[in-house]
Structure 1
């Protein structure tokens, strides 16, 4: 298996970065569809329009339905065709971004990503998570390239509710451990290639950054402040985690998330929150050193990431069987773990993670 490494063509991050949107996208076309979440439309549209002032471009802003569903993607594709759109832009959180990426892919257009929260690593990845119209997980779409441009305006992200930054840290937390598992089992990355040293270096830096700056960034964002620690964690959540996961691969953490999407009581739980809890379960399945597990659990508690089932919305442990079965479905990344994982083994690990979390919370 050949090793490979991919990343967005351009990554731009900093204070008031959206004021330079035009300069970063002008070479891709004259007409733009901005697929926006409702809150992102309110926050980002005025700044984006300001960057295009005096320019001869067509801008269409469309508020999408809330999840990256097959039906919503088809609706956006129709808008692209009817308006002869040159460039598709995703503005908002992970679902808006994934909807835009899928739309651009199917319509053979460049894609520009403008996150307004640092809740997932979706902006930089070459894939989308697609849901059925009822909200249940459907599939991943893997793209031949990563986004053309990612523009991260940290002024906007630092003003977003802190729960999004925390969820992004949960998503990023799995990056190093899942990549490490893929290297151990010689499993391919999300780009279907071997894991390079460069990829592992980014994954390790992602984890180190979380430990060093996570709590400082959380405390700053709680007060609406933009500090070096916030800039650092936004980069970790967005770039280091996204490019790291793309080129390092997934294992248990993200399969656990996919499994828990089958439970109604977890519908409002953030993606990254469940990924963080899944990371603890993965470490128990690997029988990792208690010191390492403790470091992860302490980090989660310090930034308010969940360490128990109740904290992700589950009070009936028998329901965990449903999530474990779904997480271990054929094709799931959980099978990248050395020795593989059965639903029964995962169920036991999830309950063990819950018990451990309760112990550390005492």
Structure 2
């Protein structure tokens, strides 16, 4: 459930201080970050550092601030956040920049909060809506969901360079679409149920409307945007999808609220056989599960499944590695998804464990029919390895 679920009956909207998106945006990072500190620390893995260091060197030199990298360990665990916050303290850094994807960015938020310094999100992929939010998803060392960690402020600055997004593997953007499509599915459920959002209040009209706007852009621009990034191109459709998956979905999920789709994602992380899927790919299984749980029109569910299959997202348990899973494995997924702290309890009704398990099982048939209509053939887990 969202933080402060016993908060007064107020509506709350949260957002980052500034959002900058476009081709070449990383080249502006140095001048932009000096408003928040004079000794930044950049958290990134080795691949992202190699890709971005030439651009950042010039940008930070222009701003007359030192460029200091710290290598990200790869998994956003509590221990990794503690390690990085120690680096901040020991180096006297006054701002931290999470550079790359959602895992590095979420870790930078946690480390910045530990150390008491502002944090900046600099995204080179559009695979999740993590960059804008005032929370981190914390995982165990093995990659299972552990908890949400909430902060009293959002990133001071978010920078997204769409040229890097276009040059990244298309699977990253596809995953971002899966994550963002869930935003409206969940936000509308939260509003119907009069539940709390992720910042401890009721959703504002703005938060819910931004979730719906993200949905509309995703349906109109996802397929041409994915076609463009397969050729490393930045087009208006790519810019629209990056905004939808990063800014609009980020504001929409945080201020609109989460429900069953992300809870099912969290449940899927509890079993090793799903770890080949990205965050957004698991979320798509969760979106289908929520739609089935809520009794959405069959035609709407079929349309959604076919569209997301064309986007390149998994729509079956088989693709998730659960096609032959026995009841014990599925029960582990359901148990984690139904944890008392989970956002599935934001629905307008309280599903039983059997309700969730049956909806999860029903995803297989829906997804197979969708793949057949899309001409994609039989699903296999190897599609996502």
TM range (shorter): over 0.9
CA RMSD of aligned residues (A): 1.1
Matched, 1:237 2:245: yes
TM-score using structure 2 length: 0.92
Match runs of 1:287-302 below 5 Å: 287-302=295-310
2:349 corresponding residue in structure 1: 339
Match of 1:201 among 187, 191, 209: 209
Matched, 1:325 2:335: yes
Given that 1:39 and 1:92 are in contact with CA atoms closer than 8 Å, whether structure 2 keeps it comes out as: no
Given that 2:281 and 2:314 are in contact with CA atoms closer than 8 Å, whether structure 1 keeps it comes out as: yes
2:380 corresponding residue in structure 1: none
Match of 1:303 among 301, 304, 311: 311
1:175 corresponding residue in structure 2: 183
Match runs of 1:265-284 below 5 Å: 265-284=273-292
Where in structure 2 are there 5+ consecutive unaligned residues? 1-8, 373-385
Secondary structure at 1:6's aligned position in 2? coil
Note closer, same or farther for the CA distance 1:94–1:54 as it changes in structure 2 (3 Å cut).
closer
Matched, 1:361 2:368: no
Whole-angstrom CA distance in 1 between matches of 2:88 and 2:12: 32
1:144 corresponding residue in structure 2: 152
Superposed displacement of residue 249, structure 1: 0.6
Whole-angstrom CA distance in 2 between matches of 1:53 and 1:4: 39
Whole-angstrom CA distance in 2 between matches of 1:353 and 1:132: 27
Whole-angstrom CA distance in 2 between matches of 1:333 and 1:102: 21
Matched pairs, number: 362
Secondary structure at 1:78's aligned position in 2? helix
1:214-261 deviations in Å (ceiling 9; x for gaps): 000111111111111011101111001111000011001101111011
Whole-angstrom CA distance in 2 between matches of 1:78 and 1:360: 49
Superposed displacement of residue 58, structure 1: 2.6
Whole-angstrom CA distance in 1 between matches of 2:233 and 2:268: 33
Match of 1:210 among 215, 218, 235: 218
Given that 1:70 and 1:133 are in contact with CA atoms closer than 8 Å, whether structure 2 keeps it comes out as: no
1:105 corresponding residue in structure 2: 113
Superposed displacement of residue 274, structure 1: 0.9
Whole-angstrom CA distance in 1 between matches of 2:32 and 2:251: 20
Match of 1:92 among 100, 103, 108: 100
Whole-angstrom CA distance in 2 between matches of 1:325 and 1:62: 37
Given that 1:86 and 1:109 are in contact with CA atoms closer than 8 Å, whether structure 2 keeps it comes out as: yes
Superposed displacement of residue 108, structure 1: 1.0
1:79 corresponding residue in structure 2: 87
Matched, 1:259 2:267: yes
Match runs of 1:115-194 below 5 Å: 115-194=123-202
Given that 1:37 and 1:93 are in contact with CA atoms closer than 8 Å, whether structure 2 keeps it comes out as: no
Superposed displacement of residue 54, structure 1: 4.7
Whole-angstrom CA distance in 2 between matches of 1:47 and 1:341: 50
Secondary structure at 1:40's aligned position in 2? helix
